[in-house]
A and B are shown apart, each in its own frame.
Chain A
Amino acid sequence: MNEWSSSKRGDLSRRRMLGVVGAGVVVSALPSRSGAATRPGAQARTAGEGLVGAPLPRIEGPLKVRGAAPYAAEFTFAGMVYAALAFSTIAKGRIISIDTGAAEAAPGFVHVMTHVNAPRMRPMMPWASSEKAAGNDAWPIMQDDRVRWNGQPIAVVLAETQEQADHAASLISATYEEEPATTSFAQAKANGTETAVLGGQPVHIEIGDAEAALAAAAVSVDATFHTPYQNHNAIEPHAVTVAWHGNELEVHDASQSVVHNAWSLAQILGIEEHQVHVTSPYVGGSFGGKFMGMHQVLAAASSRLSGRPVRLTLSRAGVYRLVGGRALTEQRLALGAGRDGRFVALIHTGTSTHTPDSPHPELAQFVSYSSYATGTLKIDLQWAHLDMVANAAMRAPGEAVGSFALESAVDEVAVALGMDPIELRIRNEPQADPLTGLPFSSRNIVEAWRAGAKRFGWERRNPTPRAVRQGDWLIGMGCGAGSHMYARESGGAARLTLTKHGTATIDIAAHDAGMGTATVLTQITADQLALRLDQVRLRAADSALPGVVPGIGSSQTTTAAATIIAAQRKAVAELLKLLRRDSPLAGLTADEVTPRDGGLAKTDDPARHESYSSILTRARRDELVVEATGGNPTESEQYSMYSYAAVFCEVRVNAVTGEIRVSRLLGSMDCGRVVNARTAAGQFRGGMVMAIGLALTEETLYDERTARIMNPSLSEYHVPVHADVPEIDVIWTGIPDPQAPLGARGIGELSMNGTAAAIANAVHNATGTRVRRLPITLDQLL
C-alpha cells in the first residue's frame, strides 16, 4: 500500500460517489464494482467525513450571481489609467517608424510606450525552462524594432478612460520594412521540419516494425487527418490591474498560475520575487490560455513609466492577437488488425505547427502511446515552424485532436471488420501500459463502455451507414474513447491553521477559473478534519500563499489533495503533542486517532474524543499552524495512470443541406473517485461542449498570405451556441484509484478527448461519409 491508500479512513465503498447530477436534479447510479448499494448524491452530507463526493454547489456562487466577486479588471486604484494596445499588421520585419502624434493629441491621453521608450526587460521564460517559468515564448517584449508575428503589440497607450485609450490607440500608425515570412503550412513544411522534442527527448518511438505489420494486416486503414488552428475564447478576456508601490508591484491578474506569474514578472522586470504580489481570486475561464503573457509585462512596464496604476484588458480581438491556441495538425493514422479484430500495427505520425521556444508541442500522437495493445507502434511528430503568435496550451492539448484521428481510425477498422466498435476496443484492451510496461493503477474503461452503452441504448444502433432516416434527417450513432494522463505537481504545499474556535483555514496558491476548485478544496479540508463546510475557509490564488500549484494538466485537485492530507497529518501530530494529561486521547499515537466531529477520536473507540477547540483552549493556544508539502508524485513512476472516457453520440444530418445537429451526447467516465459530483459533471459537460466546437464549428481563419487572423471575434469564430448543444448525460464508474490521493484522478480535460471522434463517427454512421478534416462543415456532406 502506498501512502494514499494507508491514509484513507473509513470504508471507501461506503463513500463511493456514484451519483450523477443532470441539470442539478437527475440522480442516477451505475452498479458499483463491489455491488455495494449506492446512495443518491444530492442527499450527501455537508459535514465532516463523507463530504468528499458530495455534489455541493460552488461556494462562491452567490457572490458571482450578485456580481460581488471581483475579477482582475474590477480592481481599482486611485489615479488608475486604462491601457489599449496597437498591433503590428505585418508578419515579419522591422518597424521603421511609429507615429504616436495623433494619439498623444487625443482626449484623455496619458502615456504611450513603444520599443523606443520601453524600460529594459529580460524576455519571458517558457514553461518548464525553470520551476516557475510559465511563458509560451522567449521573445523580447517591446525591446527592439523586430516584428515577429502579425498582431504583435507595438504600442501601449494609457488614457483616463478605456474609451479614450481605445481611440488613441486606433490613431497609432507604423511603417515597416517587411521581410519574407513563413506564413503557410505548405511553405513551413517545404522549409523542412524538425523532430518535436518533449522533455528533452525527440518524439519518435518505434516498437517492432509497424510498417511491415501494417502491410501484412488482414484489415487496415491508413489515412490523413487534419485539424485547424483554434483560439482561446474564455468568457473573461485576459485582464490585469497593476500598481507600483515603490519597488513593489501589486498585480490583480486573470491567471491560472499566480506564483509563476509573480516569479516571471520579477525576473522580467529585474526585481525580487517577493516584490511582486499576484492575486487572481476569480477568473472567467482559463483553459490553458491564462498563464504568463506579454500583457501583464506591458501593463507593469507602462505603469512604471507613467507613474500611474494601470488596468489593461485585452479586447476580444486582442486575445486572438496575443494569445495562441491549438496548433494546426496533419496526422497520419494507420491501424492494422487481424480478422479477429486484434490490432497488429499502429502508426501515428504527423506535423504540428510550431513557434520558436514554445513549450507546447501539440502532441496529437500522445493518445496512441497507451490506448491499445497493438504489438507494433510507430510514433513521430514533426514541427513545422511558422512566423505566428506563439503556440499556447488549450484544454487537452494534443490529445483532443489526436484522439479524433485515433478513434476515427478505430471506427473505420470496425466498419471494415463488420465488428461493433465497442467490442473492437475491448478486444484490444492492454493488460499493462503498452509503451512502458508499467501496471495500470486503475483502468476500468470496459466498465465505462458497458455502462455507457446500456444507458445510451447503443444496442439500437444500426451498424449500416445511412440506414436510419426521419424525413429529411439522417440519424447516426457513434462512439469514441478518450484518456487523460494523471498528473500531480511536485510543488504542492499548503498552510493549515486550526483555531481555538474549532475553525480551520487552508492557504494554498491554487486557482479556480470557474471549475469548482475552491469548493472542492474546501470540501476536502472539511472532510480531512471532520469539520463542517462553514467551519473551513480557503484562501487561494494568491502568490503570497504556499504552494506552486498551477492550473495545468487537470492536476490541481490531486496536487492539493495530497497537500491537504499531508497538512492534516502534521496537524494531528501537533495536536497530540498539545494534549493535556487528562485528555481522553492522552497517550494515543497518530496511528490510533482519526478526525471526527470537529476533533480527534480514537479510531476504534470514538467515545474517546476531544474537540480541536478543547485541545487548543486547554493548551492555551489561539491557533495551531502547520505547513506541509505533498511530495513528489512517485505514484506516476510506478504506475501507468490515466483517466478514461467512453463517449457516445447521436447526430442528425440533413440530407438536403448537410446541416449537422448533435442530438444526444453521453460521457461515461472512469476517473477514480469523483470529489464533487456537481462540479465534476460541469467539467465533463464543458469539455464535451468544447469538443462539439472542435468537431463541428471552431476554426481560426488564419490567412496564409499575411499570417493574419481574420475572425478575431465571437461573431465570426464559431463556438457552439446553446442550440448546438443537446442535453449532455454524464455518468462515471466512481471506482477509486488506489494510487491517487483520495482515489481521485484528474477530470478537467478528459471529456475533450474522444468526443470529436464520437461525433465524426456518428456522422459516418448517419451519412456514410467519413470526414477526416475538422471542423466537419455541411459542405463536406453535400
Chain B
Amino acid sequence: MKPFVYKKAGTVAEAVRAGAAPGAKYLGGGTNLVDLMRETIEQPATLVDVTGLSSDIRRLRDGGLLIGAAVRNTELATHREVRTRYPVLTRAVVAGASGQIRNMATVGGNMLQRTRCAYFYDAKGSRCNKRNPGQGCDAIEGFNRMHAILGASSACVATHPSDMSVALAALDAVVHLDGPGGPREVPLTELHRLPGETPEVETVLRQGELVTAVELPPLSWAKRSTYRKVRDRASYAFALVSVAAAIDVRGGKVKEVRIALGGVAHKPWRAREAEAALSGGPATVKAFRAAAEAELADARPLRDNGFKVELAARTITAVLGELAGGVR
C-alpha cells in the first residue's frame, strides 16, 4: 500500500480539522479500509484514527438510544438495551463478518464500508465505474450473483454489503454528522445513494464529514423485530438476500411495520412499497407475500442473480409470518 501519515484524533474538532485536508480519510477498525489500501483501491495520504471518539451508547430523554460512531460492532450487538429493545440490530450485527472482525469494526466504519463486487476489488485487471469513473463495468455481464436487483443503473450493479445498516434502515435510525460545515443529521435511509451515473459517489457525506453517532428512535414495538440473512455458507459470507423487519399486529391487522432489505441494492433498501401495502391491512401470509411482490415488482435481475427475486419474496414472507406469530 501507498505510504501514508497516521494521526489519532483526540476530539471531534481535531478529527474534523485533520479530516478536511485533501487525501485524508477517517479510520475506524480498519477492517475494510486497510484491505482496500492493500489492494491500492484506496490511497489516502493521511489516516485520521477516530476510534478514540464517541464510543459509548447513551439513552436519550425520549427513550431512544445514541450510539457513538466508534462503538465496536461486538459491543453494540451485546449491549443490553440493544438486545432487548432492538433485537433486529443485534441479529444483523452478529450475522456479519466474524467475531474477530466485529471486535475491531466500528459503527461508523460498518456503515461506510464499500461494496464487495469482485470487479471493484480487481484494481489491476477489471473495469469498474466506481473505482475508475467512466471506465465501464465488468460486473453487468460478468459474475453478478451477489449483485443488485433493485435500483441499479447501467453504470453500476454493486450492492452495499453492510448487515448492520439494513437493520438501522428498518429502525428509522438517524446519522449524526459533523464536519467543516458544522453538525447535521441525516436519516440512515438517505445516507447511501443509488448508483445512477456516478457510482463513485456512494453517500451524501460532504468532503471531510465525520459520522459521530447514530440515533435510534424509541419504537417500543421494535421489540418484535428480527433479521434474517440468507447466504452461501452458514457463516462468514455476505448476504444474498437479507430482511430486517419489525411489525406490530393488533387484532389481526398490521398497525405498524418496517421492512428493509440487504443484498439487493446499492444501499440498504427500505421496502416502503411493501410497508404501504401492509399498513392497516390483514396480517396474513397472503398479504405478506403480496406486499413482498409489490416491493419487488421493479426488480431487474442480472445473469446470475435472478433467483434473488423469489428468494427475497419468500424471505420477506417468512420473516413477517414469524414475527406475526404463526398467522396463516
Instruction: State how many residues of chain A have any CB contact under 8 Å with chain B.
Output: 35
**Least Cβ–Cβ distance between B158 and chain A, in angstroms:** 14
Which residues of B from 85 to 124 have beta carbons under 8 Å from A? 116, 118-119, 122, 124
Is A201 an interface residue when CB atoms closer than 8 A count as contact? no
Complex contact A701–B118 (CB within 8 A)? yes
**Least Cβ–Cβ distance between A752 and chain B, in angstroms:** 19
Q: How far is the CA of A782 from the CA of B313 in the complex (A)?
A: 12
Which residues of B from 1 to 23 have beta carbons under 8 Å from A? 1-3
Complex contact A705–B234 (CB within 8 A)? no
Is A225 an interface residue when CB atoms closer than 8 A count as contact? no
Binary contact track B211-228/A, C-beta < 8 Å → 1, others 0: 000000000000000000
Complex contact B234–A163 (CB within 8 A)? no
Is B230 an interface residue when CB atoms closer than 8 A count as contact? yes
Complex contact A724–B311 (CB within 8 A)? no
Complex contact A723–B232 (CB within 8 A)? no
Complex contact A87–B124 (CB within 8 A)? yes
Partner of A782, one of B3, B119, B311: B311
Is B298 an interface residue when CB atoms closer than 8 A count as contact? no
Binary contact track A738-782/B, C-beta < 8 Å → 1, others 0: 000000000000000000000000000000000000000111001
Complex contact B233–A696 (CB within 8 A)? yes
Complex contact A657–B233 (CB within 8 A)? no
Instruction: State how many residues of chain B have any CB contact under 8 Å with chain A.
Output: 30
Complex contact A659–B230 (CB within 8 A)? yes
Binary contact track A139-178/B, C-beta < 8 Å → 1, others 0: 0000000000010000000000001001100100000000
Is B286 an interface residue when CB atoms closer than 8 A count as contact? no
Which of A117-125, A680-688, A709-717 lies at the binding interface? A709-717
Q: How far is the CA of A708 from the CA of B139 in the complex (A)?
A: 13
Is B315 an interface residue when CB atoms closer than 8 A count as contact? yes
Q: How far is the CA of A87 from the CA of B40 in the complex (A)?
A: 15
Partner of A150, one of B125, B234, B237, B311: B125
Q: How far is the CA of A706 from the CA of B138 in the complex (A)?
A: 10
Q: How far is the CA of A723 from the CA of B95 in the complex (A)?
A: 12
Given A167-B1, A167-B2: A724 touches B125 (CB 8 Å cut-off): no
Given A87-B124, A716-B116, A721-B234: A107 touches B307 (CB 8 Å cut-off): no
Complex contact A701–B315 (CB within 8 A)? no
Binary contact track A689-718/B, C-beta < 8 Å → 1, others 0: 000000011000101011010110001101
Is B235 an interface residue when CB atoms closer than 8 A count as contact? yes
Chain A residues with Cβ below 8 Å from B38 are 166
Partner of B143, one of A163, A697, A710: A710
Q: How far is the CA of A718 from the CA of B237 in the complex (A)?
A: 8
Q: How far is the CA of A710 from the CA of B127 in the complex (A)?
A: 12
Binary contact track A43-60/B, C-beta < 8 Å → 1, others 0: 000000000000000000
Closest to A714 in B: B236
Chain A residues with Cβ below 8 Å from B318 are 472, 656-657
Q: How far is the CA of A679 from the CA of B100 in the complex (A)?
A: 29
Complex contact B122–A163 (CB within 8 A)? no
**Least Cβ–Cβ distance between B328 and chain A, in angstroms:** 15
**Least Cβ–Cβ distance between A555 and chain B, in angstroms:** 33
Complex contact A778–B230 (CB within 8 A)? yes
Is B126 an interface residue when CB atoms closer than 8 A count as contact? yes
Partner of B125, one of A89, A167, A697, A721: A89
Complex contact B125–A706 (CB within 8 A)? yes
Complex contact A782–B116 (CB within 8 A)? no
Closest to A724 in B: B234
Instruction: List the count of A-B residue pairs having beta carbons below 8 Å apart.
Output: 81
Partner of B315, one of A107, A166, A656, A715: A656
Partner of A710, one of B118, B124, B141, B240: B118
Complex contact A708–B116 (CB within 8 A)? no
Chain A residues with Cβ below 8 Å from B1 are 163, 166-167, 170
Closest to B230 in A: A657
Which residues of B from 228 to 259 have beta carbons under 8 Å from A? 230, 232-237, 240
Q: How far is the CA of A715 from the CA of B231 in the complex (A)?
A: 13
Chain B residues with Cβ below 8 Å from A581 are none
**Least Cβ–Cβ distance between B140 and chain A, in angstroms:** 12
**Least Cβ–Cβ distance between A95 and chain B, in angstroms:** 14
**Least Cβ–Cβ distance between B145 and chain A, in angstroms:** 8
Chain A residues with Cβ below 8 Å from B310 are 782
Is B183 an interface residue when CB atoms closer than 8 A count as contact? no
Is B281 an interface residue when CB atoms closer than 8 A count as contact? no
Is A720 an interface residue when CB atoms closer than 8 A count as contact? yes
Partner of B236, one of A711, A721, A777, A782: A721
Chain A CB within 10 A, most for which of B40, B234, B235: B234
Binary contact track B296-328/A, C-beta < 8 Å → 1, others 0: 000000000001001100110010000000000
Complex contact B235–A722 (CB within 8 A)? yes
Complex contact A703–B235 (CB within 8 A)? no
Given A472-B318, A657-B311, A708-B122: A715 touches B142 (CB 8 Å cut-off): no
Chain A CB within 10 A, most for which of B2, B40, B141, B233: B233
Q: How far is the CA of A502 from the CA of B31 in the complex (A)?
A: 55
Complex contact A703–B236 (CB within 8 A)? no
Chain A CB within 10 A, most for which of B116, B126, B236, B318: B236
**Least Cβ–Cβ distance between B45 and chain A, in angstroms:** 14
Complex contact B307–A782 (CB within 8 A)? yes
**Least Cβ–Cβ distance between B128 and chain A, in angstroms:** 12
Chain A residues with Cβ below 8 Å from B240 are 778
Complex contact A661–B142 (CB within 8 A)? no
Given A150-B125, A701-B118, A711-B118: A718 touches B232 (CB 8 Å cut-off): yes
Given A706-B125, A716-B116: A656 touches B314 (CB 8 Å cut-off): yes
Which residues of A from 647 to 671 have beta carbons under 8 Å from B? 656-659, 661
Closest to A151 in B: B125
**Least Cβ–Cβ distance between A328 and chain B, in angstroms:** 15
Complex contact B234–A701 (CB within 8 A)? no
**Least Cβ–Cβ distance between B23 and chain A, in angstroms:** 16
Q: How far is the CA of A721 from the CA of B237 in the complex (A)?
A: 10
Chain B residues with Cβ below 8 Å from A720 are 233
Q: How far is the CA of A582 from the CA of B215 in the complex (A)?
A: 94
Q: How far is the CA of A718 from the CA of B2 in the complex (A)?
A: 29
Chain A residues with Cβ below 8 Å from B234 are 659, 661, 721, 723-724
Chain B residues with Cβ below 8 Å from A167 are 1-3
Complex contact B307–A779 (CB within 8 A)? yes
Complex contact A778–B142 (CB within 8 A)? no
Chain B residues with Cβ below 8 Å from A723 are 233-236
Q: How far is the CA of A706 from the CA of B116 in the complex (A)?
A: 20
Chain A residues with Cβ below 8 Å from B315 are 656-657
Binary contact track B263-284/A, C-beta < 8 Å → 1, others 0: 0000000000000000000000
Closest to A173 in B: B124
Chain B CB within 10 A, most for which of A167, A472, A779: A779
Complex contact A721–B116 (CB within 8 A)? no
**Least Cβ–Cβ distance between A187 and chain B, in angstroms:** 16
Complex contact A715–B126 (CB within 8 A)? no
Closest to B240 in A: A778
Chain B residues with Cβ below 8 Å from A708 are 122, 125-126
Q: How far is the CA of A166 from the CA of B142 in the complex (A)?
A: 28
Chain B residues with Cβ below 8 Å from A697 are 232-233
Complex contact B125–A715 (CB within 8 A)? no
Complex contact B118–A657 (CB within 8 A)? no
14 residue pairs from A and B, CB less than 8 Å apart: A166-B38, A659-B230, A697-B232, A697-B233, A703-B143, A705-B141, A706-B126, A710-B119, A716-B118, A718-B233, A721-B234, A723-B235, A779-B307, A782-B314
Closest 6 pairs between A and B when the two form their complex, measured CB to CB: A779-B307, A723-B234, A723-B235, A710-B118, A89-B125, A656-B318
- Write the residues of chain A forming the contact surface with B, with a CB cutoff of 8 angstroms: 87, 89, 107, 150, 163, 166-167, 170, 472, 656-659, 661, 696-697, 701, 703, 705-706, 708, 710-711, 715-716, 718, 720-724, 777-779, 782
- Write the residues of chain B forming the contact surface with A, with a CB cutoff of 8 angstroms: 1-3, 38, 40, 116, 118-119, 122, 124-126, 138, 141-143, 230, 232-237, 240, 307, 310-311, 314-315, 318
| A720-B233, A782-B310 known, 7 other contacts, Cβ within 8 Å | A167-B1, A656-B315, A701-B143, A705-B142, A706-B126, A723-B233, A778-B311
